[in-house]
Structure 1
Amino acid sequence: MPYVNIKITREGGTTPAQKAELIKGVTNLLAEVLDKSPATTFVVINEVEMEDWGVGGLPVEDYRRQIAAK
């Protein structure tokens, strides 16, 4: 019984259709690669506020500015 947790930043307004596509794609991948049953595959998508996400020791917005400046 696979459980997949996808975490994305809450920005740009991820649509319900995009989320449904992620759920379907991950479920299909587990079925194809690991022969897992789609009926018992759970996929959860969590949207995280930008200020609650960090990369490389920086808030993600600062990290992105740093990368863009290079």
Structure 2
Amino acid sequence: MTVFLWILLIAAMIATLVALVRGIITFLQATEADLKGTGPSVAGMKSNKMMQARIFFQAMAILIVVVILLATGRTG
């Protein structure tokens, strides 16, 4: 059970890193015209979605750490 949780934790951390890098790359690709436009740009919306995904994966990683700590704390 604990090995499965560790694998899930590693997967969540990798997903967090991938979402972060993709969000930063998308943010850096936004042009000056996108930033000065009237309303949300496609690049801005994509960057926002990637950052939301990063927050989700980060929360999942924290929850998995809590579950691992609870599982190992009860056996000791």
TM-score (norm 2): 0.29
Greater percentage in strand = 1
Which structure: larger Rg?
2
TM-score (norm 1): 0.31
Greater percentage in helix = 2
